[in-house]
Amino acid sequence: MFAAAIDRFGGPEAITGHALPVPPLDADEVMIAVDTAGVGSWDADVREGYYAPRNPHFPLVLGYDGSGIVAAVGSRVRRLKVGDEVYSYNWENPKGGFYAEYVAVPADKVAPIPKRLDLRHAGAIPITGLTALQGIDDALKLKKGETIIIHAASGGVGTLAVQFARLRGARVLATASGLEGVELVQELGAHMTIDGKRADIDDQARRFAPDGVDAILALAGGDALEKCMNVLRPGGRLAHPNGIEPAPKKRRGLELIRYDGISGVREFERLNAAVQAAKLKVVIAECYSLAHAYKAHERLAEGHVVGKIVLSIHAS
């Protein structure tokens, strides 16, 4: 099969095309003929060796989420069958990731795609969708009528979190990057939007919630987040997925919740229900062919990606 893989840790140019054997399939696994693979900052971290095991195994096929069609199922798999359209998030990929024509994944990390999405759009959201929904529902336990700042909302996780927060009946202030980012999160349903790189972000946010906001979902760290935290009411909650830099420090009187997006059967059932109920819009910023995976990483490194970058495995 064709795959985009690295033979060493390094920059985007380390990703090259490889002819590799189709991974072997274990009894509790599903073989997915990949249609779309997600590209996120964590892929670049792995490419650079940030999460490197002591004896990394090369060639290493990148990619932790995506969508496709079930090509084979292991002997113990009952929930899925050949031909199903599925999506998946699997952080542990010892047999190789989603930047490939085929990937073998434990069946409990695979789910039918939501009815309202096609393979391309479903493939863009396993990691970001699970992380957004679990931030709103599990970490923050956001309730109807509460106010929330979704900080750095114009990226992969934030564009979905805005819609899930609206689905739960919250009033949403979204900070985004640049005019396109601000316009996008407004279209996605934010009640108020601010360019998060403006100096007076806290003054603006106070107009939204004069008594302070109930919750913050932080998708970037730094000065702007610190300013948002000034607007959190006493006893308010701040949640962020691990990985934002710099991670915010605990302050007296606020509840700080760090979390990771979790993949599993129940988690995907909840995501599918929320996608349906929210009539979710998935914003694909750019789509690259598998052979051009290195270009997708060059684009990621340039920054200011509004929405999500994906790879289309069968595009030329």
Ligand X SMILES: NC(=O)c1ccc[n+]([C@@H]2O[C@H](COP(=O)([O-])OP(=O)(O)OC[C@H]3O[C@@H](n4cnc5c(N)ncnc54)[C@H](OP(=O)(O)O)[C@@H]3O)[C@@H](O)[C@H]2O)c1
Q: Which residues bind to ligand X, rule: CB under 6 A?
A: 40-42, 127-128, 131, 152, 154-158, 175-178, 181, 196-197, 219-220, 224, 241-244, 260-261, 303-306
Which of 45/211 has CB closer to ligand X? 45
**CB 269 to ligand X: min, Å:** 19
Greatest Cα pair distance, the chain, in angstroms, is 60
Distance CA 108, CA 193 (A): 38
**CB 62 to ligand X: min, Å:** 15
Which of 25/157 has CB closer to ligand X? 157
Which of 70/306 has CB closer to ligand X? 306
Residue, CB closest to ligand X: 155
Which of 33/296 has CB closer to ligand X? 296
175-181's contacts with Cβ under 8 Å and 24+ in sequence apart are 175/149, 175/150, 175/151, 175/201, 175/224, 175/228, 176/152, 177/152, 177/304, 177/306, 178/154, 178/304, 178/306, 180/154, 180/306, 181/153, 181/154, 181/304, 181/306
**CB 24 to ligand X: min, Å:** 28
**CB 88 to ligand X: min, Å:** 15
The tokens describing 160, both together, are: 């979905």
| 273-32-56 Cα angle (round to 5) | 110
**CB 253 to ligand X: min, Å:** 23
Which of 60/125 has CB closer to ligand X? 125
Helices 265-278 and 156-167, packing angle to 10 deg: 70
